[in-house]
Structure 1
């Protein structure tokens, strides 16, 4: 094994910043599960989320403990229940299918939460397509489609936002410490 040359210091004398891309970040953690799957998507939201946030969330899922796990699980349960109702709603509407272009990408699934997040992204894409089909045959208005896809995206983004604080920022009951969510100001 040949040894690597140490990184050269820039003229400023400061250490160079080494950023980890998403796959490198994930490869440094010991995954709870180690599987890969091909994910097909047709929406810009799914593509952008996979590019910018999926592996970040996956790495945070692997190291999450205690209250953070509880908070994430609750957010997943809320999102999954909402998606079930939304898919049932759009499934009862008339739809005219139109051809959509799908892209495919191999995705590493390192934790059961990452699998759940990927499933939500698949359900988002299904809602995206089926609301477009419903709009195409005028069984739903444009504003209903926009509202449905916006709320669907917010459900996934809420999970991503829970990944940002460190595990020690959560109480055992899953509330975020020092947040308006954990303080009751006379509101239910």
Structure 2
């Protein structure tokens, strides 16, 4: 059972979808409540609760598969048998996901092509403009969400109603998501570069 769980983890790592899901979860999801804050109050449970439930179920399943994978018998080389200390083993289910496959990542050609197309070249340095614009989108999203209607009435009357600020907030959220996906693709392209 543990070997099957490890094979499942390896398959998800090879597809690169697990790391993409984690990047979106940690990079975009913290900003989603800001956009939800601008929706009419009766729609909030219908948008937020299923999404929150899905995240909880996905996290539990990832932990469970990792915990089962940790219980598999490890094949040790003769050199490991000579060592006094056994090799470190992942302490919990989430740590099992940080172990890359032994033969390295081998994504499907389509995913490798997407990563190559979207991601920055490994030798290229970070672009300051991209980071600045992403931070500006985050700041604008906070401003759209938390500045009151009276502030917007003075600044730009067309955005005085929260429902009018929802579309620009979703645009900021989309730009943040695009920035996170590009960062993920750049990281994956660096991991795949030596291969």
Q: Sort the TM-score into its range (normalised by shorter chain).
A: under 0.3
TM-score when normalising by structure 2: 0.27
**1 or 2, which has the higher strand percentage?**
1
Greater helix content: 2
Give TM-score scaled by structure 1 length: 0.28
